[in-house]
Amino acid sequence: MGKADPDHPGAAQSEGPMLRPKISVVVSVYNNARTAARAVISVLRQSIPVHEIILVDDASRDTDFAQLTRLVHRCRSPAPLRLERLSDNVGAGLARHHGANLARGSHVAFLDADDLWHRRKIEEVTRAITGDGAALVGHRQPWKFEVSHDDLTRLSDIRSRPLGRLTFLMLNPILTSSIVVEARIAREMFRFGGRKAEDYMALVLASRMAERMVFLDAPLAWALKPPFGHSGEGASILANYHGSAIHMRRLYRARLIGVADLAIFFAFLAARVPIGLARQFVYRVRYGSSAAKEC
């Protein structure tokens, strides 16, 4: 028999064939109740139901919080749907950390309030967890201003590949809404918080804790917001790179990564800067300001 964590009943470990994971979903929300409702609907429409949905309101305006409250009361969800409101605005990182520590499932999936999941996301991630023994699963999450019904329902053959720790030092291979990890990792990875590139720091930390990591080469989530370098929170490529550098030094000072890890990170960061700036220019020329306003 496996041993269970009395504080987190869903985290029981099995010594036999792995059972289907109980996946808790954490959605951090800040002044975007309208898009949060859309994100929650994409979770409710999964081909395999999730264990629970936790909305963490990061001290939004009262009007937005009222909309979230109505959503929770009116939503007919087969899984428990709960809303937690933080008294102070702490940023998405610590909001996710708060939600992960409330989760009762064996695994935690993170979803940004302005993103959507493909209908088979939980099904395919579950297959990677049970079949490949993955402690961390990620997948493609394309940027798109509008998605179609086919984007959320159709899939081609899905290929998977292992992710190594070195990958996370070279670049951020997965975005927040594609992260699914064991609950023990989820409760630690966002503990440092942060407001710029906090998801990158969280993934580096998670990669140190996960025995096996798998990447699914399929668009199982969609980012319905401007790409990094265009507008919004990720408008400045340099600001995001600067944020990731600060966070990596923080992990080094906490002795969670070594000097060799830090050197590899900065070597690849130096190579990424001109590429990132060129991409930022292309995005702004291609999409213009009108697309940013739509988002």
SS3 163: strand
Question: What pLDDT score does 11 carry?
Answer: 44
Intervals of the chain under pLDDT 70? 1-18, 225-235, 287-295
Q: How far is CA 137 from CA 107, 114, 224, in A?
A: 10, 21, 21
Per DSSP, 140 falls in state: E
Q: Which CATH superfamily is domain 9-223 in?
A: Spore Coat Polysaccharide Biosynthesis Protein SpsA; Chain A (3.90.550.10)
Question: What pLDDT score does 275 carry?
Answer: 85
Closest-CA residue to 137 (of 170, 174, 89) = 174
* 150 φ, ψ (degrees, to nearest 5): -65, -35
Closest-CA residue to 28 (of 79, 84, 102) = 84
Question: What pLDDT score does 233 carry?
Answer: 53
Cβ–Cβ under 8 Å, residues 224 and 144: yes
Question: What pLDDT score does 266 carry?
Answer: 96
Domain coordinates in residue numbering, the chain = 9-223, 232-294
Q: What is the 3-state secondary structure (H, E, C) of 77-133?
A: CCCCEEEEECCCCCCHHHHHHHHHHHCCCCEEEEEECCEEECCCHHHHHHHHHHHHC
